[in-house]
Amino acid sequence: MSDLVTIFTEIILPIFVLVAGGALLEKRFKLDITTLSRLSFYVFVPALLFKALVESTLQFDKLAVVAGFQTALITAMFLTGMVTGKVMRLGERAYPAFLLAAVFCNSANFGIPLVQLAFPDNPSTATGYQAINIMIQNLSTFTLGLVIVNHGRARIGESLKHTLRFPFIYVIVGALVLKYLDWHTVVMNWPWFWNPIKYAGNGLVAMALLTLGVQIAKTPRIRRLGALVMANFLRLAIAPAIAYLLVRVLEMLGLVTAGTMLAQLLVISAAGPSAVNTVLISLEFDSEPEFAASAVFYSTLFSALTVAVTIFLVRRYV
């Protein structure tokens, strides 16, 4: 029990203090969430990902493992959510919102500070691995996610065009190329370039969590209680359970070593709440956006408990 309390106070509580701070600021000042999101999306997230990848001790063969794992997890969650949604006989508008909430994880605003706090001895490498999770999650959200809300009729060309606007894709690729060519030390010796990257990157955790607090400050009315509970259960409990099974498969294949940071990170990163981007998609295509907002809010709220338990179990059994 003392270990669980330590996990909560040292990892979970710092995250939610800043989230609560963002919520309080929104209640008091009615902040412009679009501006905050754009600052995070176009400045702070790319800067931190670039900084983390350049500074990290990543093994390139493991990056492919992370990408494959994340793809398999999203596929498994999609199939699980699809079957569950059909059994629950959700309506045409509610079913896509339910599926989005269950499948896609908040891998950036929530995931980055989570892995940094969970692995304080090597936060750059943890963030580097998480960068691949972020890339696969976001690519999937704006391709598979658009297919889901369009009931299988999304135009792949339009989806890819939307996805290719994301700056983090080019940042991740650029940083990995520099690492592969062993040129990363060159850019780190350019103060005019590297220092602004460091300053912006170091601001991401606070900015991301405050922004997340602002986003969930307006507590939505509970819509479709049964579906909401099941979506949260799939996202917060079933997703890390499936991640654990996938990691065991990777261990049997010799692709991941038990007890390593990578093995543990893959499971912990899968335990995050529903992605905020799912609300944006639901709004854009009028697919129960109130339900999507409720799923994000309550999955974030209950993740304070479920993520702490996940970390506690991972440190013992993964």
Q: What would the pLDDT profile of 6-26 be if each residue is shown by its tens digit?
A: 999 999 999 999 999 999 999
* Highest-scoring range by mean pLDDT, 124-128, 174-178, 203-207, 240-244: 240-244
Is the model's pLDDT at 83 over the cut of 90? yes
Torsion angle, alpha carbons of 226, 228, 230, 236, to 10: -150
Distance CA(268)–CA(31), nearest Å, equals: 31
Instruction: Of 53-62, 226-235, 258-267, 278-287, give the lowest mean pLDDT range.
Output: 278-287
In this prediction, residue 20 carries a pLDDT of 93
Level-2 CATH architecture, domain 2-317: Up-down Bundle (1.20)
H-type alpha helices, the chain: 2-7, 13-29, 33-39, 45-55, 60-88, 94-103, 111-118, 123-141, 144-149, 156-163, 167-180, 184-188, 191-202, 204-215, 225-233, 239-252, 261-269, 277-284, 289-317
Is the model's pLDDT at 184 over the cut of 90? no
Instruction: Of 22-36, 187-201, 297-311, give the lowest mean pLDDT range.
Output: 22-36
Per-residue model confidence as pLDDT tens digits over 266-300: 999 999 999 988 877 777 676 777 888 889 889 99
Domain ranges for the chain: 2-317
DSSP reduced 3-state for 274: strand
Is the model's pLDDT at 219 over the cut of 70? no
Is the model's pLDDT at 160 over the cut of 90? no
In this prediction, residue 233 carries a pLDDT of 97
The pLDDT confidence band at residue 231, using thresholds 50, 70 and 90, is very high
The pLDDT confidence band at residue 41, using thresholds 50, 70 and 90, is confident
In this prediction, residue 167 carries a pLDDT of 83
The predicted model gives 34-56 an average pLDDT of: 85
More confident residue, 176 or 77: 77
The predicted model gives 190-203 an average pLDDT of: 92
In this prediction, residue 274 carries a pLDDT of 94
Instruction: Of 28-37, 116-125, 279-288, give the lowest mean pLDDT range.
Output: 279-288
Distance CA(209)–CA(62), nearest Å, equals: 28
For the chain, the average pLDDT equals: 87
pTM of the shown model: 0.89
